Structure 1
Amino acid sequence: MANLADHRVYSCNNCWNPIAFKDDILSKSFIASSGQAYMFRNATNLKIGDKFEKQLLIGHFTIAGIYYGKSGQVLGWKYIRAHDQRQAYKEGNYITIIIIIIIMYYKYVLQDKSTLFDWNWNCFLGLNQILGID
């Protein structure tokens, strides 16, 4: 059995379905009204809500809520448009509140010309941070 790759995956804390890979993290320094949040360049298994205008601490934006596609749980928002060009790098990216996602380790294994996926649940992201697991 050959281990081809190990990836950290950020997943829904209700059903463990993947939302994003560690490689998609752009920043870990965002703050939402309910706590710390991460910015991802790509996300999956999401539904994007209606667009609306929002004044945030750092400027005015057009954003859309993002919801986990299966449960409808609110995960955060997607930046649609920054009204200040200095904030334009955020456009198209996703902000996910970290207390509602978990880290899982995804093992991609090739065995007998079949692809096997092995999901190993680690723990809630908040506990990972307390323990210093990045």
Structure 2
Amino acid sequence: MSNLEAEPVEFDCAAGPPKRIEILEPREVPLGGPRAMQVRRTLPQRERSLVGAWCFVDHYGPEDVRTRPGMDVAPHPHTGLQTVSWLFSGEIEHRDSHGMHEMVRPGELNLMSAGAGICHSEVSTPATTILHGVQLW
């Protein structure tokens, strides 16, 4: 929002009382089935179902996927949300029912908007040795 006032009134924003700090500990969950890669899921939790727009927060790796299952998430649907995937190492192949086929690499963000509905899959590539990233949805 823009403020077009030529001489806006100044406000002193004094520090208030300290706010309660809430530390959320993640739990291990399989990503893509019982024999799949494990992720540390911070949201949702019984005490807190979401933070802002985010209802899921997952962190995976760093994991050597040469000796363990990598990411192999079969096509599955989403409706009415967005996912943000951010990779630190490795490479993920993303495909969806809207015709998108993208390779997500370290330092890149993949943003998927589900809107009225989308089906997508995520698979780590054979070139990946160490997989490490986060996903918010």
Instruction: Please indicate, yes or no, whether the TM-score normalized by the shorter chain is above 0.5.
Output: no
Q: Which structure has more strand as a fraction of its residues?
A: 1
TM-score norm. by structure 1 comes to 0.24
User: Which of the two has higher C-alpha Rg?
Assistant: 2
